[in-house]
């Protein structure tokens, strides 16, 4: 038994459910980008586990890059202030970009990232997010690929953290409120 498990009130998505959904997303992306060679831009740190599994479910040539941002500080509420810690290495001018993000809450981070990517004149930009909190959006955000929609609960695991912890849980669970209150 994982000792981090007692900090969770419930497991939302187990490993099997996550992998099954990722296989579906991979098939869809493979189909949509058949004649193309997309650049998958993983948003660090939260998106790294999802990206690692997602790219292995895609069977066309593609490239990977990372953008490291921070939007939360150490709490559980988005500040709306996004800071870039690591920029793109690949020149995305004229390229087909897929932004890969762990979770969308207010939508402020993804809105900022999409705008930032668009400034580099890509040929197209699509977004792929593992988790979406539709009721928490503060701005209009459009996704092309979504893993699962969830409620307002704060979740951890499978790359997602609270205070840089829990990223290594192989499943996604709801963090007990007493941990962050």
What minimum distance in Å lies between the beta carbon of 96 and ligand IMP? 22
Is residue 54 within 8 A of residue 25, CB to CB? The reply is yes
**One residue of 42, 107, 147, 157 binding ligand IMP per CB under 6 A:** 107
- Asked whether the bond before 12 is cis by omega within 30 degrees of 0, the reply is no
Q: Residue 34, exposed/middle/buried by CB under 10 A (0-12, 13-18, 19+)?
A: exposed
Q: Which residues bind Mg ion (CB under 5 A)?
A: 46, 102
For residues 151 and 179, what is the distance between their CA atoms, to the nearest angstrom?
19
Closer of 72 and 116 to ligand IMP (Cβ):
72
Number of chain positions touching ligand IMP (CB under 6 A)? 18
Partner touching 96 among ligand IMP, Mg ion, none, CB below 5 to 8 Å by kind: none
Nearer to ligand IMP, 33 or 159 (CB): 159
CB 105 to ligand IMP: min, Å: 3
- Contact string (CB under 6 A) for ligand IMP, positions 108-147, x = contact: xxx-------------------------------------
Q: Say whether 105 is catalytic.
A: yes
Indicate which single residue of 7, 92, 106, 130 sits in contact with ligand IMP (rule: CB under 6 A).
106
Closest C-alpha among 60, 54, 49, 74 to residue 159: 49
Least Cβ distance, residue 104 to Mg ion (angstroms): 8
Task: Indicate which residue of 96, 105, 132, 161 is catalytic.
Answer: 105
Beginning with the edge strand found earlier in the chain, give each strand of the sheet holding 39-44 in spatial order: 83-86, 63-70, 39-44, 96-104, 124-132, 145-149
Residue 30's H or E segment, with its range, is: helix 15-32
Show which residues are catalytic.
105
């Amino acid at each position: 038994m994982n000792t981090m498990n007692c900090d969770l009130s419930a497991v939302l998505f187990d490993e099997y459910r996550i992998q099954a959904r990722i296989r579906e997303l991979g098939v869809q992306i493979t189909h949509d980008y058949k004649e193309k060679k997309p650049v998958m831009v993983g948003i660090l740190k939260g998106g790294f586990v999802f990206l690692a599994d997602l790219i292995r479910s895609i069977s066309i040539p593609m490239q990977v890059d990372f953008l490291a941002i921070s939007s939360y500080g150490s709490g559980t509420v988005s500040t709306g202030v996004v800071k870039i810690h690591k920029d793109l290495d690949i020149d995305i001018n004229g390229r087909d970009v897929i932004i890969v993000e762990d979770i969308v809450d207010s939508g402020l981070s993804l809105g900022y990232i999409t705008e930032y990517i668009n400034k580099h004149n890509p040929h197209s930009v699509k977004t792929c997010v593992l988790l979406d909190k539709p009721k928490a959006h503060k701005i209009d955000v459009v996704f092309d690929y979504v893993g699962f929609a969830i409620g307002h609960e704060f979740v951890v695991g499978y790359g997602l953290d609270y205070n840089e912890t829990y990223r290594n849980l192989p499943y996604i669970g709801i963090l007990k409120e007493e941990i962050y209150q």
